[in-house]
């Protein structure tokens, strides 16, 4: 759905952002009172979401990219059958998700009715309709079933689809098929009664139906004051949006006592969701819709690739569904299609196939079936890849695996071949010991010492699994373990747009171009300051570490290590040269170590403590309230070690 088509939003000032950050801190499962009193106080508890069935990223198929609203039961079940017959189901593709286009309308008593013409198995003698036979069928095939709704009263297709042939029918209120005002009832009907296992919740109903919108003015739809604005974060009512998702989560917990549900947030990176979705949902869209264009795929990739610390087992960044099968990712563009799949695997993105599997060419089916890449995506460690080298043309991504191996991807974003040099340092491996590599596409094995020269074709992504000797022999840098680091409070008080995200021109050149509007700039980063600079304290460069703003609290899961070590200080890139920052380390809620107050220009100070038997560490960087300008702090070489 083109962004441009969605630009007509009702503009009205919402709650001031200063107030929002305070409310933002209340989110999550920490005791609310402690949070209110002091958001940086240790809680001893991991606060990112672990509810639902998403300890690894969901895999499956979704109807949207293949069919848009023109979907029906036959098309869906045929793709499901192919998933089973080709062995993709056995490789992990389990969720068969209906996107928009399944509904008839909402009955006067609030009950949702399925479209029985499109989904004949939903017909019941009393006219109440039921998806139970459909979900039973999928469950009988060893699969899971997913459904789609909207957080507002109305939907994206009602607002934006030019083809109106398969939209809800009936009176204005009958056509109000979204969750708004019906959250508990709908979630009960979808999960408890109909047996669905997954729900994707869109946000168009919260953004496109302002009183001055054409569709409302025409009398077709009831007005709902927009609380979401994709382009301008200040026009979103973040607490209100969070509150509604919180209600959905409560209903999901209530109707799924077995915890077998997936909650997918689809508000396209708006409302600063890249910072807080990890606390409520299982997957969350970081950008507007992907289209089958190389440039647009890069946009979506960019919105997730710097959010490595905001994804954990239970809650993943979602740069949108795979568009392999069309346009720049069809069977005539296997290089691009393989790149797209490789990058989604490295991002720990949901792997949701978006093509019509009834006629998907075999070379594309082989891409979906790449077991080595699926294994990376589904690796139990849950560590999203981290950027080890970053330019506009070429990027190197490194992902730590649960068994200690690494995976490396080199992405050539440009249209000319690049001679790349992959170094042991990129992977935090020793440069004097052999590094064994297995190519993740050809399966070929090789080995090198120090560095390896690679030619990367235009739009190609080369990828390997590697094993070598670790530079840090007896432990792990925190930046190698992003799935274990949760920026519970990341110090961002005013959401800012991220200027680094590719702005694609694939929607045409009318207007003035694509402006940066995805917030998240200033969030916590692995091996980088919050603003993409190298980590450096008093002239000393740290190749490893966590960069975050002051007045932050990071939660770190300790998996059996005995000692924490770090060199802490205010980063040289900080704008604020006056304020002092005190760094503190807590173990299961108890203070273990604290630094002197440090300001910019002072050398990094060692901060270390025994952590044997501790399961949760908290890393707090506290400064006064009167911070002026960006105050980036560096947890240099922060590591969990055995010593």
| Residue 289 is a catalytic residue | yes
Catalytic pick from 197, 202, 237, 572?
202
Compute the least distance from the CB of residue 62 to ligand GLA, in Å: 8
CB nearer to ligand GLA: give 159 or 429. 159
CB nearer to ligand GLA: give 166 or 634. 166
Chain residue whose CB lies nearest ligand GLA? 156
Compute the least distance from the CB of residue 332 to ligand GLA, in Å: 25
CB nearer to ligand GLA: give 344 or 464. 344
Q: Which residues, listed in sequence order, are joined to residue 411 by a DSSP beta bridge? A: 395, 461
Compute the least distance from the CB of residue 293 to ligand GLA, in Å: 16
Q: Residue 216 region, left (φ>0) first, then alpha (ψ -120 to 50), else beta? A: alpha
Site size for ligand GLA, by CB under 6 A?
10
Residues 263-282 that bind ligand GLA (CB under 6 A): 266, 268
Compute the least distance from the CB of residue 75 to ligand GLA, in Å: 16
CB nearer to ligand GLA: give 268 or 635. 268
Compute the least distance from the CB of residue 507 to ligand GLA, in Å: 13
Tokens of 222: 């009831």
CB nearer to ligand GLA: give 100 or 237. 100
CB nearer to ligand GLA: give 68 or 389. 68
Residues 428-467 that bind ligand GLA (CB under 6 A): none
Contact between 270 and 233 under an 8 Å Cβ cutoff? The reply is yes
Is 318 a binding residue for ligand GLA by CB under 6 A? The answer is no
Q: Which of 315, 314, 320, 275 is nearest to 302 (CA)?
A: 320
CA of 596: how far to CAs of 41, 608, 640, in Å? Answer: 18, 13, 22
Helix (H, G, I), strand (E, B) or coil at 578: coil
Of these, 156, 206, 311, 548, which contacts ligand GLA (CB under 6 A)? 156
Contact between 482 and 383 under an 8 Å Cβ cutoff? The reply is yes
Longest Cα separation, the chain: 77
DSSP 420-475: EEEEGGGGTB-TTSEEEEEETTT--EEEEESEEEEEE-TT-EEEEEEE--BSSTTE
CB nearer to ligand GLA: give 177 or 187. 177
Burial class (CB in 10 A: 0-12, 13-18, 19+), 185: middle
For the chain, give me the number of helices (H) and strands (E)? 14, 33
Residues 542-561 that bind ligand GLA (CB under 6 A): none
Give the list of residues 6+ apart from residue 512 with CB closer than 8 angstroms, or none: none
Is 99 a binding residue for ligand GLA by CB under 6 A? The answer is yes
Is 80 a binding residue for ligand GLA by CB under 6 A? The answer is no
Per-residue binding letters, 40-59, with ligand GLA (x by CB under 6 A): --------------------
Contact between 377 and 57 under an 8 Å Cβ cutoff? The reply is yes
Compute the least distance from the CB of residue 159 to ligand GLA, in Å: 8
CB nearer to ligand GLA: give 20 or 98. 98
Q: Residue 272 region, left (φ>0) first, then alpha (ψ -120 to 50), else beta? A: left
**Dist. CA 280–CA 125, nearest whole Å:** 38
Is 64 a binding residue for ligand GLA by CB under 6 A? The answer is yes
CB nearer to ligand GLA: give 156 or 298. 156
What is the helix (H) or strand (E) element at residue 97, kind and residue range? strand 95-97
How big is the CA angle at 450 (ends 444 and 454), to the nearest 5 degrees?
45
Residues 188-227 that bind ligand GLA (CB under 6 A): 202
Catalytic pick from 99, 279, 289, 527?
289
Compute the least distance from the CB of residue 66 to ligand GLA, in Å: 12
Compute the least distance from the CB of residue 63 to ligand GLA, in Å: 9
Compute the least distance from the CB of residue 148 to ligand GLA, in Å: 6
Helix (H, G, I), strand (E, B) or coil at 233: helix
CA of 328: how far to CAs of 15, 290, 323, in Å? Answer: 42, 12, 9
Residues 600-619 that bind ligand GLA (CB under 6 A): none
Contact between 395 and 413 under an 8 Å Cβ cutoff? The reply is yes
| Residue 439 is a catalytic residue | no
User: Order of strands across the sheet with 59-62?
Assistant: 316-318, 283-285, 262-266, 198-202, 144-150, 95-97, 59-62, 351-353
Compute the least distance from the CB of residue 122 to ligand GLA, in Å: 20
Is 289 a binding residue for ligand GLA by CB under 6 A? The answer is yes
CB nearer to ligand GLA: give 269 or 530. 269
**Dist. CA 50–CA 249, nearest whole Å:** 12
Give the list of residues 6+ apart from residue 584 with CB closer than 8 angstroms, or none: 591, 593, 594, 595, 619, 620, 622
Contact between 476 and 405 under an 8 Å Cβ cutoff? The reply is no
| Residues lying near ligand GLA in the complex (CB under 6 A) | 1, 64, 99-100, 156-157, 202, 266, 268, 289
| Residues forming the active site | 202, 289
């Amino acid at each position: 759905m083109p962004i441009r088509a969605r630009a007509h939003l009702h503009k009205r000032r919402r709650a001031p952002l200063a107030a929002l950050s305070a409310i933002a801190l209340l989110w999550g499962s920490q005791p609310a009172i402690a949070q209110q009193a002091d958001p940086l106080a240790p809680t001893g508890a991991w606060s990112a979401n672990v509810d639902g069935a998403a300890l690894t990223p969901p895999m499956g198929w979704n109807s949207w990219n293949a069919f848009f609203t023109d979907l029906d039961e036959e098309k869906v079940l045929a793709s499901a059958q192919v998933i089973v017959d080709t062995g993709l189901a056995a490789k992990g593709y389990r969720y068969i998700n209906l996107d928009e286009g399944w509904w008839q309308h909402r009955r006067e008593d609030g009950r949702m009715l399925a479209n029985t013409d499109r989904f004949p198995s939903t017909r019941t003698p009393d006219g109440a309709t039921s998806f139970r036979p459909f979900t039973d069928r999928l469950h009988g095939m060893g699969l899971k079933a997913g459904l789609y709704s909207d957080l507002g009263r109305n939907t994206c297709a009602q607002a934006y689809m030019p083809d109106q042939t398969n939209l809800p029918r009936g009176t204005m209120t009958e056509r109000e098929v979204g969750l708004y005002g019906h959250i508990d009832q709908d979630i009960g009907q979808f999960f408890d009664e109909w047996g669905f296992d997954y729900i994707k919740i869109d946000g168009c109903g919260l953004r496109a139906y302002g009183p001055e919108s054409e569709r409302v003015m025409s009398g077709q739809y009831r007005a709902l004051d927009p609380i979401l604005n994709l382009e301008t974060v200040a026009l979103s009512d973040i607490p209100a949006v969070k509150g509604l998702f919180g209600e959905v989560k409560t209903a999901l917990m209530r109707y799924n006592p077995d915890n077998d549900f997936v909650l997918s947030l689809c508000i396209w990176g708006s409302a600063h969701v890249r910072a807080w979705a990890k606390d409520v949902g299982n997957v969350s869209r970081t950008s507007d819709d992907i289209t089958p264009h190389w440039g647009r795929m890069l946009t979506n990739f960019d919105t997730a690739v710097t959010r490595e610390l905001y994804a954990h087992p239970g809650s993943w960044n979602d740069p949108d569904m795979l568009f392999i099968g069309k346009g720049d990712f069809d069977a005539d563009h296997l290089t691009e299609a393989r790149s797209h799949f490789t990058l989604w695997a490295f991002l720990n993105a949901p792997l949701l196939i978006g093509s019509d599997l009834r006629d998907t060419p075999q070379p594309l089916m082989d891409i979906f079936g790449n077991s080595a890449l699926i294994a990376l995506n589904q690796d139990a460690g849950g560590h999203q890849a981290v950027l080890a080298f970053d330019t506009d043309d070429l990027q190197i991504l490194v992902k730590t695996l649960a068994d200690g191996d690494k995976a490396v991807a080199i992405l050539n974003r440009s249209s000319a071949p690049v001679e790349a040099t992959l170094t042991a340092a990129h992977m935090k491996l020793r440069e004097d010991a052999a590094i064994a590599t297995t190519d993740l596409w050809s399966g070929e094995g090789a080995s090198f010492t120090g560095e390896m020269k690679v030619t990367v074709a235009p739009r190609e992504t080369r990828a390997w699994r590697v094993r070598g000797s670790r530079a840090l022999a007896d432990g792990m840098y925190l930046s190698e373990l992003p799935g274990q680091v949760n920026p519970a409070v990341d110090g961002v008080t005013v959401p800012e747009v991220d200027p680094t995200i590719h702005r694609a021109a694939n929607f045409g050149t009318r207007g003035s171009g694509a402006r940066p509007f995805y917030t998240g700039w200033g969030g916590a980063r692995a091996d980088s300051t919050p603003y993409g600079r190298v980590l450096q304290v008093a002239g000393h460069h740290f190749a490893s570490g966590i960069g975050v703003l002051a007045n932050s609290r990071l939660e770190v899961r300790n998996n059996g290590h005995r000692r924490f070590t770090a060199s802490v200080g205010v980063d040289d890139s900080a704008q604020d040269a006056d304020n002092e920052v005190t760094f503190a380390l807590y173990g299961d809620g108890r203070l273990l170590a604290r630094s002197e107050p440090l300001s910019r220009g002072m050398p990094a100070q060692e901060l270390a403590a025994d952590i044997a038997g501790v399961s949760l560490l908290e890393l707090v960087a506290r400064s006064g309230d009167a911070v002026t300008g960006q105050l980036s702090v560096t947890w240099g070489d922060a590591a969990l070690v055995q010593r």
